[in-house]
Amino acid sequence: MHRPYRIIDISQPVSSRTACFPGDTPFSRQVTVSFAESKVINLTAITMSPHVGTHADAPVHVQGDMAEGSGMAASLPLENFIGPAVVFDVSPLNDAIGIEHVAGKLKTLDRLPARVLFKTCREIRYEVFEDRYAYFSVELVQALADRGVTLMGIDTPSVDDVNSKTLDAHHALIARGLCWLENLDLTRVEEGEYVLVAPPLKLAEVEASPVRAVLLEGDGW
């Protein structure tokens, strides 16, 4: 059957080779039941930080007491992760993304979608943690929030610089009510408008959630 839209996978793979933020818990797998032995099924158990691969952070990641149970991944609003989006190509860049990087692009749009994704890499090495990468400036977050944006996404490990101790972009996003995605893979995506589908899992006791992020291209979604 002909599909009136194209599905573009913008998720990074998750495996034992996938790099994670220094000090975080990488992906590992344990086979708990094997088909070879049971003749019935394979079963596995996995261990990993929810920040491995493409994921959404929740507010409690950088503020609040996890024992209180608020601000967890399950509370993230699904509507922010599904709907019209635009991809801005600022690649290659490994510094703060400022409003100057997108000012000209914003002028070309009749209407800015509520979800803005930033392509900063032309190549992604999943097995390597790049210690220099692009991240959001507070000014960019505030400017896009003023224009009605509800989600920002990036193809790097964090919305803040690797050496940041204050995590200003994280806090600016939360203060303006925005959601965000990290570790996207936009290498096969051209700048333009799409539909984003990237809902987080309903994880009620953790500060982030893996997502399978895709873009829909076409008019038949």
Q: Compute how many other C-beta atoms are within 10 angstroms of the C-beta atom of residue 75.
A: 15
- DSSP state string for 148-187: T--EEEESSS-SS-TT-SS-HHHHHHHHTT-EEEESB--T
Rounded to whole angstroms, how far apart are CA atoms 76 and 173? 13
- Spatial contact of 59 and 71, defined as CB atoms under 8 Å apart: yes
The residue type at 70: S
Q: In the annotation, is 61 catalytic?
A: yes
First-to-last C-alpha distance (Å) of the chain: 14
The 3-state DSSP composition of the chain as helix, strand, coil percent (nearest 5) reads 20, 25, 55
Q: What angle do CA 64, 65, 70 make, to 5 degrees?
A: 75
Catalytic residue among 2, 51, 55, 61: 61
Instruction: Please give the positions annotated as active site.
Output: 61
